[in-house]
A and B are shown apart, each in its own frame.
Chain A
Amino acid sequence: MKTDDLIRGLAADTRRERSLESGLARALCIGLAGAVALFALILSPRAGMPGLMMEPRILLKFIVTLSLAATSIWLALRLVRPGADARPLVWALAIPAGALMLGVVTELVVTPLPGWMPGLFGHSAIYCLSLVTLMAAPVLVSALYALKRGAPEHPMLAGAAGGALAGSLGAALYALHCVDDSPLFVLVWYGIAIGFVTAAGALIGRRVLSW
């Protein structure tokens, strides 16, 4: 085919596409709706939940997970936009990481040594791992779907950002149910769960996000 002919054909395809931002926003609404439905089906908010939200250790869970989600959205959008540099944004990961570290240090200072380990292992570590992953799954699918409309230079990294986004939103949702409030628990078990979903996003992204 002649290039001129191809150009004529391409110009005739006037379908308007939504922006990456609105595509991702829409996908997240759908994914979160799925996750909330799962939550409603198998879990319930812990007793006294909306009121407990302002408890420092509980609030910390939401600060950490939601700031990680926000950073991941921002990173993911840069990673799928050709010519955009995502590197300067990596520093924004210091917000969730810093908040969590602050919580961990405070916990270690105010809790006597014998309380550390029970806090770290909590009541429901395995439960936490599997439920965060489960809550994250619909968000991961929808986020990757939206990111597929982009054009990442490194599909694996873009997939990882989508995974971190899904994992942190899944964790935020699970935090409504979770009764383990030690920042040590959050660091280890939320960390492993989000890390797992991030890795899954990277592996799937490598396959499905190349264009």
Chain B
Amino acid sequence: MDDREQRWMQLMQAALGGDQPAYQRLLREIAPAIRSVVERRLWRMGAPTGESEDVVQETLLAVHLKRHTWRVGDPLGPWLRTIARNKLIDHLRRRGRRVEVPVEDFAEMLAAPEERPGTEAEDVERHLALLPDKQRSVIRSIAVDGASVGETAERMKMAPGAVRVTLHRAFASLSARLKADE
């Protein structure tokens, strides 16, 4: 287990304990790692690498919604690779492509470069537009505008607890919609 995986495990453990900055840092660190592996895979298959950001975002969403399936002390690498591979397969299947994805492709994930600029992706944006108004506004306010839960609650005249619940439901339905988009 290398230093980076060790550090990610500590960040994940802190994140599960409610440490929000640690969680954000972890997601920011794993995003480029997923991106580089996915880009390489798509490129090798002759698929447009422009789609890789969609896979990155879907994987991050899955990592988030399934984070309780990681057990403190388990290595993070195999867990993350399995999720990323599953989401890449999903993505390819939706586009009607061949779905053979060797696990070995994801072995390089931990060694991926630290920095790779992310771009916009379409899938999440497109499904976001189809969410119920309230869910969409909460995601936009917190994710895009960078408002806190408290500010969003004030702006939308909701209780902070209700904003949290709405935010969680919004991510869950976003993920379900992406999955159902066959």
Contacts and interface: CB of A to CB of B under 8 A. Distances in A.
A150 B83 CA distance: 11
Contact of B179 (A18, A80, A210): A210
B50 interface: no
A1 B142 contact: no
B60 A10 contact: yes
Contacts of B120: 1-2
A9 interface: yes
A70 interface: no
Category for how many chain A residues contact B: 20 to 34
A81 interface: yes
Contact of B27 (A10, A15, A153, A210): A10
B145 to A, nearest CB: 9
B86 A153 contact: yes
A79 B159 CA distance: 39
Interface string B138-177: 0100111010110000000000000011011001000100
Interface of chain A: mostly helix, strand, loop or mixed: loop
A16 interface: yes
A83 B79 contact: yes
Interface string A1-26: 11111111111111111111000000
How many residues of B sit at the interface, in one of the four size bands?
Answer: 35 or more
Contacts of B128: 1
Given A13-B168, A210-B179, A3 B31 contact: yes
B81 interface: yes
A16 B179 contact: no
B112 interface: no
Interface stretch (B2-10, B41-49, B61-69): B61-69
B78 A6 contact: no
B56 interface: yes
A81 B28 CA distance: 23
B146 A8 contact: yes
A6 B75 CA distance: 25
B144 A7 contact: no
A15 B64 CA distance: 11
A91 interface: no
A4 B18 contact: no
A35 to B, nearest CB: 27
A10 B68 CA distance: 14
Contacts of B121: 1, 3
A7 B24 contact: yes
Nearest to A10: B64
Nearest to B166: A13
A16 B18 CA distance: 7
A206 interface: no
A61 to B, nearest CB: 34
Contacts of B139: 9
Given A82-B69, A82-B83, A151-B86, 13 more contacts: A1-B128, A4-B28, A4-B118, A6-B60, A8-B143, A10-B27, A11-B21, A13-B64, A20-B68, A82-B86, A83-B77, A83-B81, A151-B66
Interface of A: 1-20, 80-84, 149-151, 153, 210-211
